[in-house]
Amino acid sequence: MTNESEATWRLIGTRDSIPLREGRRVCFGDKEAAVFNLGDKFLAVESNCPHKQGPLEDGIVSGEAVFCPLHNWKIDLNSGDVIAGGEGHIATYAIKVEDDQLYIRF
């Protein structure tokens, strides 16, 4: 298991491998993130909804938030806060784009 101190930038793939306003799951060891392409930037959060562990990468993007596909909880992709549906918080991950390559800090 990696911990925060071992976190480093890891290559996901080319930036166009995640379509506009969609999310994809990225796994590394036992870490799982949902990475979203918001056009002008990419954001990533822990991949499971704090409510019933719905797969957030399958949700519908609304601005800089995503709706969980199971019960429509709304999660802010910048902060990881639940902003509608219930209360809670999930971790966020930093994303970088360099030379059309997409990196996550895992």
Partner 1 sequence: MERKKLLVIGNGMAGMACVDAILQQGPHFDITVLSEEPYYNYNRILLSSVLQGEKLVDDIYINTKEWYDANGIDLHLGAKAVDINAPLHQVVTEKGDIFHYDKLLIATGSDPFIPPIEGVKKKGVFAFRNINDVNAMTSHCEEAPGRAVVIGGGLLGLEAAYGLIKNNMQVTVVHLGNRLMERQLDEIGGLFLKREIEKMGIEVLLQKSTTRIMGKDRIESVQFKDGSIVEANMVVVACGIKPNIELAKKAGLKVNRGIEVNDHMETSDPDIFAVGECVEHRGMVYGLVAPLYEQGKVLASTIVGLKELTYEGTTLATKLKVMGIELFSAGDFLAEDPSMEVVAYEDHAFGVYKKLVVHNNRLIGSILIGDSRDSGRFLKLIRDEERLGDKRQNLLFETPPAVAGSPEDVMSLPDDETICGCIGVTKGQIVCAVKENNLKSLAGVKKCTKASTGCGTCAGTVEDIMRAVNGGELEEVADVLCECVPFPQEKLRNIVQTQKLKSVQEILDVYGNGVGCQVCKPALSYVIDEVWCGEHTEDRSARFINDRVHANIQKDGTFSVIPRMRGGLTNPNELRKIADVADKYKVKLVKVTGSQRLDLLGVKKADLPKIWDELGMPCGHAYTKAVRMVKSCVGAEFCRYGTQNSMQVGVDLEKELEGLYTPGKLKMGVVGCPRNCAEATVKDIGLIGIEGGWQVVIGGAAGKVVRAADILVTVSTTEEAFEAAKLFFQYYRENGKYGERTYDFVERLGLEKVRRETILANKEIQDAILNRLEKSKANTVDPWVVEAKRPATSMQFDEFVLPKDGAALLNNFPV
DSSP H or E segment with residue 99: none
Binds partner 1 by CB under 8 A, chosen from 44, 50, 54, 76: 54
68 Ramachandran zone, left/alpha/beta (phi>0; psi -120 to 50): beta
Q: Is 100 a residue that touches partner 1 (CB under 8 A)?
A: no
Name the residue nearer to partner 1 (CB basis): 25 or 89.
25
Q: Is 87 a residue that touches partner 1 (CB under 8 A)?
A: no
d(CA 35, CA 57): 7
Binds partner 1 by CB under 8 A, chosen from 41, 78, 87, 98: 98
Count the residues of the shown chain that bind partner 1, applying the rule CB under 8 A.
42
Binds partner 1 by CB under 8 A, chosen from 3, 30, 40, 63: 63
Task: Please list, in sequence order, all residues whose beta carbon lies within 8 angstroms of the beta carbon of residue 6, skipping any fewer than 6 positions away.
Answer: none
**DSSP code for 67:** E
Q: Which of 88, 53, 80, 67 is nearest to 23 (CA)?
A: 67
Q: Is 8 a residue that touches partner 1 (CB under 8 A)?
A: yes
- Binding positions for partner 1, rule: CB under 8 A: 7-13, 16-22, 24-29, 35, 52-55, 57-63, 67, 69-70, 72, 96, 98, 103-106
